[in-house]
Structure 1
Amino acid sequence: MESAREVVEEEGLQLPRLALRHRLRTLSGVIRHPVPWHHRPVTLLCYFLSVSTLRPLANRVALYRTFPTRLLSRAWGHLNGMELPTWMRKPVYSLYIWMFGVNMQEAAVEDLHHYRNLGEFFRRRLKSAVRPLCTSSCLISPADGRILHFGRVKSSEVEQVKGVTYSLENFLGPQKTQSKKPSSSFRDLLLSSPENDLFHIVVYLAPGDYHCFHSPTNWRVELRRHFPGSLMSVNPGVARWVKELFCLNERVVLTGQWQHGFFSLTAVGATNVGSIRVYFDQELQTNTPRYSKGSFYDRSYVAIGNQVPKATGEGSVVSVNGGGIVLQKGEAVGEFNLGSTIVLLFEAPKDFSFNVQPGQRIRVGEGLGLV
């Protein structure tokens, strides 16, 4: 499917060609192949914003931010949950498969009639053998998708795409620290040792990708922090326009510790992805009608007693000790409705190195880096 798609190289990332750009080149006499139909839904938002090129960029962003994306996402969620007649399922799902290049041979259930609604189809499970875990890497990909950005965090500003940043403090929220100097930066407050550095990596899930996310390493989750917010698209074309997009959007931040210190996994919501589900946390509810801008809601897993919470929908069980919820490398953690973004922020020795490239396609279980 990748070879059949018309793409352009834009700052190291393969992106669909905008329909507007195609039309302008056609008018100028440059012969181009037509944009495939299966890419037009993905680029519809970018196309709309491109049409307003006569307006300043700030005006276009402000206009987009006024869209009722939360309301639209809730409406999409209701549509996803509607049971389809058996005769309609195969035509509907086949159209989606064709549009977004879904590989149904990897699905645990390949029979399209099995999926009662769009939501079940989006959240389809995979065969156990199709996502082997890399044993040589201490850190594996938590999701299927494309690498947007990665690297060492040198200040309290982190890049969401090249040249566009967001605030680390706004993204994670305030942290409880002990015996730290008042003059320390927010980045330094996260580090447990001066011998370590802070690193990050962003994985973007497209609509055709597998929508569950997994534990990238063996670690202990101590806190869940839910930020209600906007549900703007996290398509790379939009992410390069909207500064602090990841801080504006609804997200669920899981923070805790791994063998090298601080570790966090954040599931960032997007348009039509109002539902972010964490299997071991049945209290979590996302994209609710009312919320206070800038608010967040915490749930600590440190003092939850000895009862082991049961994962919903997966049949897996996580272990609990006095310090939080222990997740094993590769274990299923949660799911999106449609694609979105996973951000990993973690402490590691200074010699930690990534073994991926910007724009690279990645799958659950593939190695991300080595110490």
Structure 2
Amino acid sequence: MCLRPTCTRVPTSSSTTGSWLQVPRLALRHRLSALSGSVCRPAAWRRRPLAFLCYVLSISALRPLANRVALYRSIPTRLLSRAWGRLNGLELPTWLRKPVLSLYIWTFGVNMQEAAVEDLHHYRNLGEFFSRRLKPAVRPVCASSFLISPADGRILHFGRVKNSEVEQVKGVTYSLENFLGPQTRQNNGSCSSSFRDLLLTSPDSDLYHVVVYLAPGDYHCFHSPADWRVELRRHFPGSLMSVNPGVARWVKELFCLNERVALIGQWQHGFFSLTAVGATNVGSIRVYFDQELQTNAPRYRKGSFHDRNYSTVCDQVLKPAGEGDVLSVDRGGVALQKGEAVGEFNLGSTIVLLFEAPKDFSFDLTPGQRIRVGEGLGSL
């Protein structure tokens, strides 16, 4: 006897009939999907490239820090920076200047009321806008402090230099010798052979440092922080990784790896140096009194540096527009006055000051504070 399956009849309205017909279809669909999933169903990441990319990034985040740093350093930041420099030099049509620059101003919070020229149509390209000058009265120089901020920015770190190691951010250090390169100075009579002691000219002094980070929206020129004399310009070609504090926390000796220009000399208390550290999209570091300086060259030899000794030359060099005609350079070096414009970045980066001062010198700063050109850094 053949048994036939029975079913309960339901009302024959169109809506209920449709749902009754879908029941076996759904059951069959689940069975087929279970079978195909174990046999030939393509994985989700193969059908969705974006999902696959997110998966790869999430896996790479779990890898050791060294692998992530190596991956980041493999990015051609120098090539990207040169391309950005070319883009900055392209002249914008007059009708496009205000929309493009207004977007940048809005994104990075630029205060155009401080600019010497507020009309955005005046800036022919992005490069001219980045290197804009300020009104003379908006950055007064503190007369009571012998050491002032060289740039607008944020204080990343400051303090005494200990064991020839300097902090780029809290807990992450770099070698002072790798940062400044070999020195030919004579020891001050101390029996210590540390690089730090080699820089000091008096046993009654100590070595200090301060790091100022310039964000993209900051004023991009840097000024002389004191009355001093530049004896040597040392240019280190190198990488152009970001100097954002977030990156500086996991790339050890970032400041020693990046391209930088160190101005080294003397002030009233002994050794003094100002170093402009390059970064991504900041391949151009300009020093106004050094027309020979060329940064972000297509090729360079790792670990190399190029010196220009100002203590052995006697000539005249041009100053930036609006700062006078010439700057005298004698056999003692280039004399700079406190607050004087020294150079500029092409977007923003970092300034590192290393200087000798009496042991009773103290900083009037707090980590992370905002600071502007001309404001005092410390006192005796």
Match of residue 104, structure 1, among 109, 112, 117: 112
Q: Would you say the 8 A contact 1:134–1:366 is kept in 2? A: yes
Q: Write the distance in 2 (CA, Å) between the matches of 1:148 and 1:49.
A: 29
1:154 matched to 2:141? no
Q: Which consecutive residues of structure 2, in runs of 5 or more, have no partner in the other structure?
A: 1-55
How far off is 1:55 after superposition? 1.7
Q: Write the distance in 2 (CA, Å) between the matches of 1:362 and 1:67.
A: 32
Match of residue 203, structure 2, among 162, 175, 194: 194
User: Superposed, which structure 2 residues align to 1:126-145 within 5 Å?
Assistant: 126-145=134-153
Q: Write the distance in 2 (CA, Å) between the matches of 1:49 and 1:126.
A: 43
Q: Write the distance in 2 (CA, Å) between the matches of 1:349 and 1:68.
A: 43
Q: Write the distance in 2 (CA, Å) between the matches of 1:191 and 1:314.
A: 36
Per-residue CA deviations over 1:4-25 (Å, capped at 9, x if unaligned) read xxxxxxxxxxxxxxxxxxxxxx
Q: Which residue of 1 aligns with 2:84?
A: 76
1:62 matched to 2:48? no
Match of residue 348, structure 1, among 357, 362, 367: 357
The 1:50–1:247 alpha-carbon spacing in structure 2 relative to 1, beyond 3 Å, is: farther
How far off is 1:49 after superposition? 8.3
Q: Which consecutive residues of structure 1, in runs of 5 or more, have no partner in the other structure?
A: 1-47
Q: Would you say the 8 A contact 1:279–1:313 is kept in 2? A: no
Residue type of the partner of 1:223?
L
Match of residue 243, structure 1, among 246, 252, 269: 252
Q: Which residue of 2 aligns with 1:178?
A: 186
Q: Secondary structure at the match of 2:118?
A: coil
1:125 matched to 2:172? no
Q: Secondary structure at the match of 1:200?
A: strand
How far off is 1:303 after superposition? 1.5
Per-residue CA deviations over 1:74-116 (Å, capped at 9, x if unaligned) read 0000000000000000000000000000000000000000000
The 1:289–1:49 alpha-carbon spacing in structure 2 relative to 1, beyond 3 Å, is: farther
Q: Write the distance in 1 (CA, Å) between the matches of 2:215 and 2:247.
A: 13
Q: Which residue of 2 aligns with 1:362?
A: 371
Q: Would you say the 8 A contact 2:207–2:356 is kept in 1? A: yes
Q: Would you say the 8 A contact 1:266–1:343 is kept in 2? A: yes
Match of residue 281, structure 1, among 258, 282, 290: 290
How far off is 1:154 after superposition? 1.5
Structure whose alpha-carbon radius of gyration is higher:
2
Q: Write the distance in 2 (CA, Å) between the matches of 1:172 and 1:217.
A: 20
Residue type of the partner of 2:104?
Y
Per-residue CA deviations over 1:35-93 (Å, capped at 9, x if unaligned) read xxxxxxxxxxxxx9888422221111110000000000000000000000000000000
Q: Write the distance in 2 (CA, Å) between the matches of 1:50 and 1:109.
A: 46
How far off is 1:183 after superposition? 4.7
The 1:229–1:49 alpha-carbon spacing in structure 2 relative to 1, beyond 3 Å, is: farther
Q: Secondary structure at the match of 2:72?
A: helix
TM-score (norm 1): 0.85
Q: Write the distance in 2 (CA, Å) between the matches of 1:50 and 1:148.
A: 30
Q: Choose between structure 1 and 2: higher helix proportion.
A: 2
Q: Which residue of 2 aligns with 1:86?
A: 94
Q: Write the distance in 1 (CA, Å) between the matches of 2:139 and 2:57.
A: 37
How far off is 1:320 after superposition? 2.5
How far off is 1:308 after superposition? 2.2
1:304 matched to 2:308? no
Q: Percent identity?
A: 82
Q: Would you say the 8 A contact 2:269–2:358 is kept in 1? A: yes
Q: Which residue of 1 aligns with 2:339?
A: 330
Q: Secondary structure at the match of 2:255?
A: helix
Q: Secondary structure at the match of 2:291?
A: coil
Q: Would you say the 8 A contact 2:190–2:197 is kept in 1? A: no
Q: Write the distance in 1 (CA, Å) between the matches of 2:239 and 2:322.
A: 28
Q: Write the distance in 2 (CA, Å) between the matches of 1:338 and 1:323.
A: 32
Q: Secondary structure at the match of 1:257?
A: strand
Q: Which residue of 2 aligns with 1:166?
A: 174
Q: Would you say the 8 A contact 1:282–1:312 is kept in 2? A: no
Per-residue CA deviations over 1:191-211 (Å, capped at 9, x if unaligned) read 000000000000000000000
Q: Write the distance in 2 (CA, Å) between the matches of 1:276 and 1:49.
A: 33
* Length, aligned pairs only: 323
| Stretch of structure 1 that moved more, 55-64 or 215-224 | 55-64
